[in-house]
């Protein structure tokens, strides 16, 4: 009688073990298969971190870019880390490498040297990070996206404004930094317009020089050489940006020539707009930075999320045709300051008309 009883106990014990194992297995499956809910927006915010590698803050416009881009990225729910290289190639590469190793999701770069920063693009790609070139194009690298204004068009607007005033005569061209690919694109645009006049013999380029590092003191040295070589007999000057134009005008003022020789610039710096009002500078080219920074921020976040940002427009950087978003620049002179720069809130009216009380 004891033997059957023992067999029953053993059978019940084995059944209990089986049921226990089944229950544990079922619970494990439930725990494994049940997803943990995380709001989609929270995931996106946690994942997206943009690195913004800037060349300089010397010019007024770059201070605005830094502030506006940061605000735009943060308004989109992403984070941004910003570094400034202060015109130092080695520092910019090191700063970018540090951001890449820290785990950013996308790198936005304003290159100091269009050639050397190709190394940054290659390092980012090796880490699986895409690169957006902001305002200035990196050369000889497979850049994922380029967002800027149409730099050839900027040069064309400058040259059109000056040739309308001075269709014949001696011209001086004060270029930007030779290391900046934008300076080459702007110069190309200028000579797109000037070349027919040159071919006809109406315009003679008596001085054509780059401005190292975009520094006003180098532009000043250039215009002094140009004036000396031509016995002050110059009919028009095209300077690549407003900082170089300001240096040019400073020299012209010293020689009593300010306001007598048309001078073109670009960037719509407050000092340049004031010079236009006062008659010392002829024109500038306005690039609404708010529009540029907002578009760049939107595309950077989209690119970081793997969303489609394909664009038919392309700009060749001497290696590939880079997908590009090119915004339209605006020529500004004394006649349309109010309806452009002031209407957009880029500069305040009381600042622009500081000496005129308008």
* pLDDT tens digits, 220-234: 999 999 999 999 999
pLDDT for 358: 53
- Distant-in-sequence, close-in-space partners of 330: CB < 8 Å, separation ≥ 6: 157, 285, 286, 287, 288, 340
List, for residues 63-109, the tens digit of each pLDDT value: 999 999 999 999 999 999 999 999 999 999 999 999 999 999 999 99
List, for residues 120-148, the tens digit of each pLDDT value: 999 999 999 999 999 999 999 999 999 99
Q: Map out the domains of the chain as residue ranges.
A: 41-149+289-328, 151-266
- CATH topology for 151-266 is Rossmann fold (3.40.50)
What's the CATH number for 41-149+289-328? Answer: 3.40.50.2300
Of 82, 92, 87, 83, the C-alpha closest to 121 is 92
Q: Answer yes or no: pTM beyond 0.95.
A: no
Fold matches, 41-149+289-328 and 151-266: yes
pLDDT at 34 over 70: no
């Amino acid at each position: 009688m004891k033997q059957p009883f023992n067999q029953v106990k053993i059978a019940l014990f084995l059944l209990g073990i089986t049921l226990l194992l089944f229950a544990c297995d079922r619970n494990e499956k439930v725990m494994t298969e049940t997803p943990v809910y995380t709001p989609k927006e929270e995931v996106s915010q946690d994942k997206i971190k943009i690195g913004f590698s800037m060349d300089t803050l010397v010019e007024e416009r770059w201070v605005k870019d830094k502030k506006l881009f940061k605000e735009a990225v943060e308004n989109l729910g992403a984070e941004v880390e910003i570094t400034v290289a202060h015109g130092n190639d080695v520092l910019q590469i090191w700063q970018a490498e540090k951001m890449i190793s820290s785990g950013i999701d996308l790198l936005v770069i304003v290159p100091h040297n269009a050639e050397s920063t190709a190394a940054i693009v290659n390092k980012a790609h090796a880490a699986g990070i895409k690169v957006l070139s902001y305002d200035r194009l990196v050369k000889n690298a497979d850049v994922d996206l380029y967002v800027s204004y149409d730099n050839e068009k900027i040069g064309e607007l400058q040259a059109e404004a000056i040739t309308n005033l001075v269709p014949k005569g001696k011209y001086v061209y004060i270029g930007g930094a030779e290391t900046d690919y934008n300076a080459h694109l702007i110069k190309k645009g200028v000579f797109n317009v000037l070349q027919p006049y040159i071919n006809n013999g109406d315009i003679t380029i008596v001085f054509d020089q780059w401005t190292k590092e975009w520094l006003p003191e180098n532009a000043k040295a250039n215009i002094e050489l140009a004036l000396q070589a031509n016995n002050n007999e110059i009919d028009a000057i095209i300077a690549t940006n407003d900082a170089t134009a300001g240096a040019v005008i400073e020299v012209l003022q010293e020689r009593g020539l300010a306001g007598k020789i048309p001078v073109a610039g670009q960037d719509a710096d407050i000092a340049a707009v004031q010079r236009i009002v006062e008659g010392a500078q002829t024109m500038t080219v306005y690039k609404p930075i708010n529009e540029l920074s907002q578009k760049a921020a939107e595309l950077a976040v989209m690119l970081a999320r793997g969303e489609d940002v394909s664009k038919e427009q392309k700009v060749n950087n001497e290696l590939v045709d880079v997908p590009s978003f090119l915004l339209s620049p605006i020529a500004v002179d004394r006649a349309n300051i109010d309806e452009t720069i002031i209407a957009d809130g880029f500069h305040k009216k009381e600042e622009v008309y500081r000496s005129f009380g308008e």
